[in-house]
């Protein structure tokens, strides 16, 4: 029982960290460019497709994933240069509509290239194993690897944004675009890089989720909504908020799905519990969001706006 | 809408008359497919008109409007499943259930603005989607087949395609009339004022939250009615009718048609669905054309079709 609980906690942590990768890109792009990007889920999907294809080509999971990361980064930068750049400073409704158009485009493009059936991304044997964490308790090596990689990425993001010169320019660009441009910084290039970074983060999330689920069209859409919920809970534009909210959502969702049915069975009749449990456990995170909104309409960590 | 005789009003009148006369053409030509397509267009046009009430006039960017299509549809579906076929029960139930849902999520989401509002309405709609998909008794993911359409008094038979088309058209025209009256009333002006400058409206003494919430609920009710119509049209309801991409479609209709007038979204519904029909006849991968087209509309034709017509009329007058 305790072992199972511990495992579910680790699953929650892993899921939360994965969601953080997605939400971080979303909130970064929103906080800095004031851009609502619905097509973020498409980048998640593209990352997964790239990883699956490149792993099959190169025969190596690690090389495949690294190449796919670069690929997603380039796709993100291309999207920024071709489309997003023209949307800055426009109404949010324009962002929603324009990026919705991009979703349609990418879903169809993927269907055209890879066909309607999904792909699978098989794990190499060294990741497809179990690791003994404490004697008598084993955990999937791959899920553990996800936890390690995402934590490293979170630390990297923190150092990049808060401790480096590029990060300083990014923060400066967020508070006053014209002024940074006037001081001789190539703000356009900076934005392209930030968008590419967000894309690579989304792609990374996609390729790490790919071996657990299948790679398929529309895989980014459901998880995009979760990323939205996280940015709303954490406060739009705040990376720290996204991190904490992502962990919160990961835990609530995972633990809710595994323990709510039992909990309901102890209160309700088995029949009623069987009906209510799936509906209620999928509602949990939205209830969480509703509660946060009632208490703090700006999210837990509202980003300081100019 | 000004009463002036200009190109824009002419096009709108022509469209409304064409919609009213469509069944005559269908009977003459025997082309039933057009009637099926336009029944769908009219119903979704009604949904788009209701969305425009909050999106265009209220400035509330709801990204979860399709949820009422689902709620209205499921109200009809569930009642039919339980053996209640009377439309006098089903349709008010569809509208009431939508009103209740809109009241709850509106009360929560209207505390926020801008991007938060977009994401929250989206998230709540998605929540409803998952709840409905989890209703094992009513088909869950697979949806629910409706074996009998809503029943009204004797001569009216919704299984007759032409009669059903006219019922939908009556609902659409009724909604256009009511929304038009509403946006030009004192209530509508308060809502529009709140879109332009909420702080100022509150400063001069309007409790704008209540006005906006009422507007939000009313739009939900209209869309719930559209949901009841869809359920009767397809004889089937499934969670996918409230999936978030459906809400995206409704927004596309509103923006494509133009948010500046009450009839704009109807033009958008006609334009989008006819375009979809044409493109899908042209290639299987039609969304690869539609997507970038949307981006172009956003970038270069902000006012939509209605805006273009209005511009053209203004230029003709000058």
Quote the ipTM score.
0.86
Which of B126, B293, B297 lies at the smallest CB-CB distance from A225? Answer: B126
Cα distances (angstroms) measured from residue B227 to each of A214, B61, B73, B76: 33, 20, 5, 9
pLDDT tens per residue across span A36-67: 899 999 999 999 999 999 999 998 999 999 99
Q: Could you tell me if residue A229 is inside a domain? A: yes
Name the residue among A227, A205, A236 with its Cα closest to residue A27: A236
The two three-digit tokens of residue B146, written as one number: 């409706």
The CATH number given to whatever domain includes residue A24 is 1.10.3470
Q: Is B78 on the interface with A (CB under 8 A)?
A: no
Q: Cβ distance B112 to B120 under 8 Å?
A: yes
- The pTM score is 0.89
State how far residue B158 is from chain A, nearest Cα, in angstroms. Answer: 33
Chain A residue nearest residue B301, CA to CA = A94
The Cβ-side half-sphere exposure at B157, using a 13 Å CA radius, reads 6
Place of tokens 């046009």: B45
**Is A135 within the bounds of a domain?**
no
Which among A37, A101, A237 is the top mutation candidate for probing chain B, defined by the most B β-carbons within 10 Å of its own β-carbon?
A101
Taking alpha carbons only, the member of B273, B248, B267 closest to residue B310 is: B267
Element (H, E) at A132: strand A130-134
For A2-34, write each residue's pLDDT tens digit. Answer: 888 888 899 999 999 999 999 998 988 888 888
Token reading at B187? 């209530």
Residue B173: C-alpha distances to residues A32, A158, B260 (Å): 45, 56, 18
Which of A290, A294, A296, A303 should we substitute to test contact with B (largest number of B Cβ atoms within 10 Å)?
A: A290
Asked if A109 lies within 8 A of B288 by C-beta distance, the reply is: yes
What is the DSSP secondary structure assignment for residue B86, as one 8-state letter?
B
Residue B253, chain A, CB below 8 Å: the answer is no
State which H helix or E strand residue B3 sits in: none
DSSP B209-263: HHHHHHHHHHHHHHHHHHHHHHHHHHTEE-GGGGSHHHHHHHHHHHHHH-SSSSS
Cα radius of gyration (chain B): 19
Dig out the tokens for A228 from the structure: 């939205």
* pLDDT interval class at A212 (50, 70, 90): confident
Q: Phi/psi at A215 (nearest 5 deg)?
A: -90, 115
Identify whether A33 is part of a domain. Answer: yes
Provide the pLDDT confidence category of residue B313 given band limits of 50, 70 and 90. Answer: confident
Cβ atoms B95, B221 nearer than 8 A: yes
Whether B120 and A289 have beta carbons less than 8 Å apart is answered as: yes
Would residue A262 count as lying in a domain? yes
- The answer to whether residues B49 and B110 touch, using CB atoms and an 8 Å cutoff, is no
Contacts A230 to B, Cβ<8 Å: none
- How far away is chain B from the Cα of A200, in angstroms, using its nearest Cα? 23
CA–CA gap between residue A229 and residue B264 (Å, rounded): 32
CA distance B48 to chain A (A): 15
Q: Looking at the domain assignment, is residue A73 inside a domain?
A: yes
- Digit-coded pLDDT (tens) for B124-139: 998 899 889 888 888 8
Considering CB atoms only, which of A101, A225, A283 is closest to B295? Answer: A101
Three-state SS at B296: helix
CB B106 within 8 A of CB B49: no
**Separation of alpha carbons B88 and B91, rounded Å:** 6
Name all domains of chain B by residue range, CATH numbers in brackets. 7-317 (1.10.3470)
* pLDDT for the residue numbered A49: 95
Average predicted confidence (pLDDT) for chain B: 90
How many whole angstroms separate alpha carbon A184 and alpha carbon B37? 56
| Domain ranges, residue A24 | 9-122+142-295
Q: What is the pLDDT of residue B1?
A: 45
Of A75, A36, A97, A89, the C-alpha closest to A237 is A36
Cα separation, A204 vs A48, whole angstroms: 8
Q: Cα(B61)–Cα(B48) distance, rounded to whole angstroms? A: 13
Query: Residue A130's beta-bridge partner residues?
Result: A140
Output B305 or A44, whichever has higher pLDDT: A44
Q: Which residue bears the tokens 């959502």? A: A249
Nearest CB among B123, B135, B295 relative to A102 is that of B295
Q: How many Cβ atoms are within 10 Å of B288's Cβ, its own excluded?
A: 19
Instruction: For residue B128, list chain A residues with Cβ-Cβ distance below 8 A.
Output: none
CA distance A30 to A26: 6
Q: Which residues of A touch B116 (CB under 8 A)?
A: 232, 236, 297-299
Contact B294 A283 (CB under 8 A): no
| A67: in domain | yes
Question: What's the confidence (pLDDT) of residue A213?
Answer: 85
Contact between A80 and A192 (Cβ < 8 Å): yes
Location of structure tokens 């609902």: B171
DSSP 8-state class, residue A12: H
Among the partner-chain residues A96, A108, A231, the one whose CB lies closest to the CB of B285 is A108
Tell if the CB–CB gap between A112 and B248 is shorter than 8 Å: no
Q: Is residue A137 part of a domain?
A: no
The beta-carbon neighbor of A92 closest among B115, B127, B252 is B115
The count of structural domains within chain A is: 1
Task: Compare CB distances from A97 to B114, B124, B251 and report the shortest one's residue.
Answer: B251
**B250 CB neighbour count, 10 Å cutoff:** 29
CA-based radius of gyration for chain A: 20
pLDDT over 70 (residue B123)? yes
| Alpha-carbon gap, residue A101 to B174, rounded angstroms | 32
């Amino acid at each position: 029982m305790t072992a199972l609980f511990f495992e579910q906690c680790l699953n929650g942590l892993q899921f939360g960290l994965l969601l953080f990768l997605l939400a971080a890109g979303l909130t970064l792009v929103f906080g800095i460019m004031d851009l609502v990007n619905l097509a973020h889920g498409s980048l998640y999907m593209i990352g997964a497709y790239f990883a699956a294809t490149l792993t099959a080509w190169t025969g190596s999971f690690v090389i495949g994933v690294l190449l796919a990361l670069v690929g997603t980064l380039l796709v993100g930068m291309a999207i920024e240069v071709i489309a997003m750049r023209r949307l800055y400073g426009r109404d949010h409704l324009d962002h929603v509509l324009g990026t919705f158009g991009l979703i349609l485009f990418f879903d169809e493009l993927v269907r055209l290239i890879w066909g309607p059936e999904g792909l699978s991304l098989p794990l190499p044997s060294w990741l497809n194993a179990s690791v003994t964490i404490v004697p008598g308790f084993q955990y999937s090596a791959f899920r553990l690897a996800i936890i390690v990689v995402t934590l490293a990425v979170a630390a990297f993001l923190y150092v990049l944004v808060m401790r480096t010169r590029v990060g300083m320019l990014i923060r400066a660009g967020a508070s006053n675009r014209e002024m940074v441009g006037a001081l001789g910084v190539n703000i356009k290039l900076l934005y392209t890089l930030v968008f590419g970074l967000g894309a690579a983060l989304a792609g990374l999330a996609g390729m790490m989720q790919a071996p657990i689920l299948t790679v398929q069209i529309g895989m980014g859409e459901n998880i995009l909504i979760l990323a939205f919920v996280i940015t709303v809970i954490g406060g739009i534009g705040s990376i720290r908020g996204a991190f904490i909210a992502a962990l919160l959502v990961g835990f609530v969702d995972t633990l809710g799905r595994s323990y709510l049915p039992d909990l309901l069975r102890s209160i309700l009749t088995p029949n009623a519990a069987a009906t209510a449990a799936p509906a209620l456990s999928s509602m949990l995170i939205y209830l969480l969001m509703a509660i946060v909104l009632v208490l703090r309409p700006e999210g837990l960590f509202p980003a300081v706006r100019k | 809408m000004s009463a002036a005789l200009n190109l824009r009003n002419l096009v709108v009148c022509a469209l409304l008359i064409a919609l009213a006369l469509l069944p005559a053409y269908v009977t003459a030509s025997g082309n039933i497919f057009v009637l099926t397509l336009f029944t769908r267009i009219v119903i979704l046009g009604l949904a788009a008109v209701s969305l425009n009430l909050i999106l265009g006039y209220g400035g509330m960017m709801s990204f979860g409007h399709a949820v009422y299509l689902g709620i209205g549809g499921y109200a009809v579906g569930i009642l039919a499943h339980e053996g209640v076929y009377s439309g006098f029960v089903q349709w008010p139930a569809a509208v009431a259930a939508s009103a209740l849902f809109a009241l709850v999520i509106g009360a929560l989401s209207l505390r926020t603005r801008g991007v938060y509002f977009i994401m929250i309405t989206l998230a709540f709609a998605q929540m409803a989607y998952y709840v409905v998909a989890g209703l094992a008794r009513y088909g869950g993911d697979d949806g629910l087949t409706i074996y009998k359409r809503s029943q009204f008094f004797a001569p009216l038979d919704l299984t007759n395609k032409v009669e059903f088309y006219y019922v939908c058209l009556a609902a659409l025209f009724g909604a256009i009339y009511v929304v038009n009256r509403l946006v030009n009333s004192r209530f509508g002006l308060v809502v529009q004022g709140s879109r332009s400058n909420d702080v100022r409206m509150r400063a001069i003494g309007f409790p704008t939250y209540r006005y906006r919430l009422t507007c939000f609920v009313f739009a939900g009710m209209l869309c719930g009615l559209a949901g009841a119509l869809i359920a009767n049209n397809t004889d089937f309801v499934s969670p996918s009718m409230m999936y978030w991409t459906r809400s995206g479609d409704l927004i596309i209709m509103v923006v494509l048609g133009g948010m500046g007038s009450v009839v704009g979204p109807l033009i958008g519904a006609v334009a989008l669905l006819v375009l979809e029909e044409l493109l899908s006849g042209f290639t299987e991968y039609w969304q690869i054309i539609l997507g970038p087209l949307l981006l172009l509309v956003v970038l270069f034709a902000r006012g939509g079709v209605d805006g273009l017509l209005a511009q053209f009329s203004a230029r003709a007058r000058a």
